[in-house]
Chain A
Amino acid sequence: MLFRIRTLIIKELQALFRDRQSRAILIMPVILQLSLFPFAATLEVRNNTLAVFNEDNGREAVELIQRLARAQAFTELINVHSEADVRRVLDRQEALIVLRLPPDFSRDRVAGRTANLQALMDGRRSNSGQIALAYVQQILNQYEADSRPEAAASAPAQPKLVVRHWFNPNLEYRWHILPSLVAIITTLSSLIVTALSVAREREQGTFDQLLVSPLTPGMIMVGKTIPAMLVALGQGTIILLAAVFVYQVPLTGSLLMLYGSMVFYILSLAGFGLLISSVCATQQQAFLGVFSFVMPAILLSGFSAPLENMPRWLQFLDWANPLTHFVIIVKGVFLKNIGLAAWWAHLWPMLVIATVTLGLADWMFRKRLG
């Protein structure tokens, strides 16, 4: 039996790697995503433009503006001179924030009164705006603290809050993206290898050949799952190596845990892939089916937005999304050096998903034979 399964696996790998085009299909997405995602997928705010509408011409205002000009978040600082200009730069997205210093700004400062400022932001990019606003606020706080040591002495005001970012002290986006990428790449290849290759065998009639041979449906499924696993593990390893050696993401946890969870993750996906293939007659349907599954699965995995922001019913649904659990484990192993308990907390759902999907796929396979 083992020899027959081995034969199936060898055949599958040969089919995947024999011609140039199919090799390219396995390699291209890895290279493309590896070179694009870490740079493109960032919510940081850099290189933005800050517009200043300075209605005050006092020394205080000029000093503040100079500080703003030195900030890293804004590489460009433009001056606007009228309400109409404010509207124009925001409308045309020439600036992310317009900071307005009212005419009495310097006067208030000198008089020791609270000075008012206004920040106007582009709501079309409100997330970036909020982050940029936090930068501006920090600069203002620093400015305030530096410019009024006497005020700090008189009343105990402690404006500065020191925040330590654990696991990723400089909030590097790449540290967040690359572990997630390990998950995403393995997702695509395990689904494509399982769902599309079964659909292709059906279209080309070779599936019948397998069914009349002494192979059992179970053996055929194993013969589809293991190659998917080998390919996905291989691709996962490439990303892992690139993450550690090229992008310098620290790998703090146990590799054993990482690969252990990857195996079960791929198993649960193979279940989905085989399930999709069992209801599809053609490769086109299988491809579109895989796409319809992968899109929501990736978007809802917590990769692009935090899980806890989702409504409760979606979070509940997300429990059945193996990607959610795997993203948490990969990130945990990479950055947080998670312990066995935290690992297990997200491993057992994958075991349940794998059991259910593989069981269903097996049942569908047998049913379709009838």
Chain B
Amino acid sequence: MAQERQAAIVGIHEYPLRVAPGVSAMNVKVDSIRAALEDAGLQWSDIDAIYDAQDGEAGGGLQLAAYLGLRPTVLDTTQVGGSSYEFHAAHAMRDIAAGKCNVAVLSYGSTSASNRVAIGTGGRGMAGPANWAQNMELPYGSTLIANYAMVKQRHQFEYGTTDEQFAGISVATRHHAMRNPEAVKAMTDLQFVGVNEITTQDVLDSRVVADPLHLLECCMISDGGGALIIASADVARGCKKPPVWLIGAGEATKYRENHGDITTSAGAQSGPIAFAEAGVTPDEIDIAMIYDSFTITVAVCLEDLGFCPKGDVGAYVEGGRLAFDSGEGPALNTDGGGLSSNHPGMRGIFLLLESARQLRGESTSQVPGAQLAVAHGNGGLLGGTHTGGTVILAKD
């Protein structure tokens, strides 16, 4: 399929704080929307489409429209976990191409840190009416981290991937975080032990939270959020900053299956769809923004998106190619990622925000001449029911 340039990111804002006591999710969303509009040079009243993952306190989508005081002609409340924003971007692309809207807003706000939400280690309580999924899994005390850890365990068993190789993902990401003042402040405010560059050994020496995942292989839990504005080509041409084009998108789901392969994620389905639509290949990608809930998530998704064959990610990441200044590429999570910059629960929006910064030349770990980025979100549980959302972005 020929590459089309019908929709672009024209305004972005990442909420600067990762610890923001006394602030609501709705505060974060509205602050971010205002700032993203300002960045684009657009007006509040220009917004005609809202995409929302239902994260505001009073309920999502409908309540957000009412709170903002808007009457959008497109209202999309897709909630598929952390990859919701890649799904939103995919939907905004096609809604704009179909002429249903011209200026779409995506926003996220969360106060997970201030509210002490134990996302990874909280276990899962009986919530709502009895259901089959809870009845079959809750008795075993699995945690979110244990679910991802089971994927790492199987990957190591099948392909011999080592802890050292996984640790390389944490090391590269921290390298980028230390160059990002907001990430440094995040780690400081969240009282990280050692706000500094880390080594492979540091990762291996950090405590095991759920075998075989070490603490430094796990994302932080922060407050935060952000917003971005996606506009039609006509609107984009009149905005303040160069447009960052959305040129391909794919969506997929995956879940536990009898005889299924836990080391392959939904990205194996969403990735090829997105690359085919964009008309580009993984080896052309400069920036890989891949949801780093854990090292294993990045490892599996690099394989599934086609950066290397299944099982080869250990050798692929060895030698530090993922660092922005390695000269090899792709550069991974150049903002510092969920591991070391920002993870309030649903990181998908930050993948798009940093992709846009890179393709504008505004990153704190800028890859010179970056032309193409992929933002890949994984939502839900990598070793259970989850979604994959892939978006390919291009410099103007």
Do these two chains really belong together in a complex?
no
